[in-house]
């Protein structure tokens, strides 16, 4: 198969699947190694991004997905029903950030970090598709483990968890001091 045909096959597969597809699976479809497949996908992405078209390829960890360009959203909502937007409260964002940085993590571990019950927050984040059950801990009671999803990566515009900002030791210490101050204020009430 020539390069143009391979790109056409990749495009057809991604369009038809409608969700992210692992690079390994795409490689097996066109009979190329992962490195060549990735090069073809990046060429395809550059082609979409360089011309006036409404689609692009999004890379999510070791997968690719065909999707609509962000600047086309206003036109899509004119014809499609408006997608349900979720509001991430401070509590939800705090819980989500704990899961993102500490995953896989149990509810009990989240509660230990936050100092309060997290049942509602975890349930809402699962409902929004930002976190999911990723297994069970090998411990008494076999508690559920939670981790972030591809929807989390899409929503926050990152390809992988490695792109999340790193916290410096100074920031971590400031957060600890703030948390201790908040806890002492709540005890005074």
| 40 lies in the same domain as 60 | yes
Residue 179 lies in a domain: yes
Task: Please say whether the beta carbons of 134 and 147 come within 8 A.
Answer: yes
Q: Tokens 């360009």 correspond to what residue?
A: 69
Say how far apart CA 1 and CA 3 lie, in whole Å. 7
Q: Which of 57, 79, 101 is the last residue of a domain?
A: 79
Model-wide pTM > 0.85: no
Two tokens, residue 186: 């709540």
Q: Which of 47, 79, 111 is the last residue of a domain?
A: 79
Tell me the per-residue pLDDT of 6-57, one tens digit each, with 9 for 90 and over. 999 999 999 998 889 999 999 999 999 999 999 999 999 999 988 888 999 9
Tell me the per-residue pLDDT of 85-141, one tens digit each, with 9 for 90 and over. 678 888 899 999 999 999 999 999 999 888 888 999 999 999 999 999 999 988 888
Two tokens, residue 98: 């704990």
Neighbouring CB atoms inside 10 A of 131's CB total 25
Sheet holding 21-22, edge to edge: 21-22, 63-68, 55-60
Query: Which letter does DSSP use for residue 117 in this model?
Result: -
Tell me what pLDDT residue 126 has.
94
Closest CA to 88 of 156, 166, 165: 156
Q: What range defines the domain where residue 127 resides?
A: 90-188
Residue 84 lies in a domain: no
């Amino acid at each position: 198969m020539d390069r143009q045909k391979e790109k056409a096959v990749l495009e057809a597969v991604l369009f038809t699947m409608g969700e992210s597809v692992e690079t390994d699976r795409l490689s097996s479809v066109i009979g190329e190694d992962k490195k060549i497949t990735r090069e073809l996908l990046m060429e395809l992405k550059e082609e979409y991004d360089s011309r006036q078209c409404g689609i692009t390829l999004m890379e999510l960890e070791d997968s690719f997905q065909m999707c609509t360009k962000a600047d086309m959203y206003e036109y899509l909502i004119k014809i499609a029903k408006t997608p349900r937007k979720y509001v991430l409260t401070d509590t939800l964002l705090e819980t989500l950030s704990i899961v993102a940085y500490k995953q896989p993590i149990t509810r009990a571990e989240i509660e230990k970090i936050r100092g309060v019950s997290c049942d509602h927050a975890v349930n809402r984040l699962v409902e929004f598709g930002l976190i999911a059950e990723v297994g069970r801990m090998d411990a008494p009671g076999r508690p559920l483990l939670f981790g972030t999803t591809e929807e989390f990566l899409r929503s926050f515009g990152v390809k992988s968890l490695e792109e999340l900002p790193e916290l410096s030791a100074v920031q971590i210490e400031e957060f600890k001091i703030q948390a201790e101050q908040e806890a002492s204020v709540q005890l005074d009430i």
